[in-house]
Amino acid sequence: MVCHVQLRYAYRVYPTAPQRNALARVFGWVRTVYTDAIAARKAARSAGLPFPTTAALDKLLITAAKRTPERAWLAEVSTVPLQQALRDRHAAYKNFFDSLRGKRKGRKVGPPRLKRRSARQSARYTRNGFSLKPNGRLCIAKVGELQVAWSRDLPAEPSSVTMLKTPTGKYFASFVVAIDDDAGMLDESDEETGIDLGLKSFAVLRGGKVIDNPRFFKRMERRLKKAQREFSRKQKGSSKREKARIKVAKVHGRTRSMRDDWLNKLVKTLVSENRALYVEDLNVHGLSRGRGAKSVHDAAFGMFLNRLESKSTRCGRTFVRIDRFFPSTQLCSVCGAMAGPKGPDSLRVRQWACGCGVAHDRDENAEINIRREGKRMVAAGLAET
């Protein structure tokens, strides 16, 4: 069965000075409409009225607002990103209420928050708001034709594009395309592996293969501290403070780019080399709030597991998450005795011996148990593959 998936393809964009001004107006008006929508919902709740629908807010905050002197400038930009901002607000509230009612999986989410001008800016256009020209330029309604650095070809016709501006002032175009799965892009493999994640080593695979933890944030932390000190000493509202803010954002951007590149390459390698992957369903949110939280954030376990699952699904690989309470570290992989180290104080114990006389490496033993439990779940039909 062919699986159709939606993917994002992002490209660097180089707008001219007038186009940057036009995009600044688009981002600003999108923030305004989003803020007005949140305010309208809060006002309705305070008055005891039903929450306004997206269609009602569309007429009130866009169509009718354009005819008023206070919001006449909304006509300067296309209505497409303004309408998409209302849909984003509706989706944010839906996720919030589904989370309260227990209908949404994962950690609890809060209500939508206001957008900051200094954060990443975005505006989404559907098919009637953009077009790709034969000369390779991207035409955005009421902005113009933008120069795009096509680092790779789009695999299909895009259904939407999101214009992005990073805190460092760079512009990107993120296209959404629907493609078939990637099962035919990778060679078939008979290998399978468990993946034991950790902080000392990022992961241990079958056969004791170790993937070192790159610690990108730790490598950039000294530079970040220096940039933050300079930023804190600048006068608020000054041009020097804005330059210092961009310097801090560049350090964060560099760290994020290195981490993304490394994770993508690692995920592609693991999926191409194994037909089945078994991992622990870690409580990443809980780990990121305890001891060693900075190291957990730096390792980005949640991002890695989500990307690995997505890539495995697209490529037809078996991917299984083992229950987080499965005692992979304590269980002896030879005799099955619960003789291994346990508790947070035992994290320093990397080698241990079972009563049956077998000496174990902590991570290698955990990988064997994870792989064995994953195969058992697949055989019993307890896992989605």
Residues 135-170 pLDDT 10s: 999 999 999 999 999 999 999 999 999 999 999 999
**From 280, 298, 367, 373, active-site residue:** 280
State yes or no: pLDDT of 4 exceeds 80.
no
Average pLDDT, the chain: 90
Question: Are the beta carbons of 297 and 217 closer than 8 angstroms?
Answer: yes
Give the pLDDT of residue 384: 66
State yes or no: pLDDT of 181 exceeds 70.
no
Give the neighbor-by-neighbor strand order of the sheet with 318-322. Answer: 210-212, 201-204, 192-197, 276-280, 318-322
Give the pLDDT of residue 5: 79
State yes or no: pLDDT of 183 exceeds 60.
no
Give the pLDDT of residue 87: 94
**From 182, 196, 298, 364, active-site residue:** 196
Domain spans of the chain, in order of start: 4-180, 192-379
Give the pLDDT of residue 371: 94
pTM, rounded to two decimals: 0.85
Between vectors from CA 29 to CA 141 and to CA 18, what angle results, nearest 5°?
50
Strand-pair partners of 125? 161
Residue 271: which pLDDT band, with cuts at 50, 70 and 90? very high
**From 88, 182, 298, 363, active-site residue:** 363
Told to judge if 196 belongs to the known catalytic residues of this protein, a careful annotator would answer yes
Residues 6+ apart with CB under 8 A from 23: 15, 123, 143, 163, 165, 171
Residues 95-111 pLDDT 10s: 999 999 988 887 788 88
Give the neighbor-by-neighbor strand order of the sheet with 160-165. Answer: 121-126, 160-165, 171-180, 4-14, 144-149, 138-140, 130-132
Residues 41-92 pLDDT 10s: 999 999 999 988 999 999 999 999 999 998 999 999 999 999 999 999 999 9
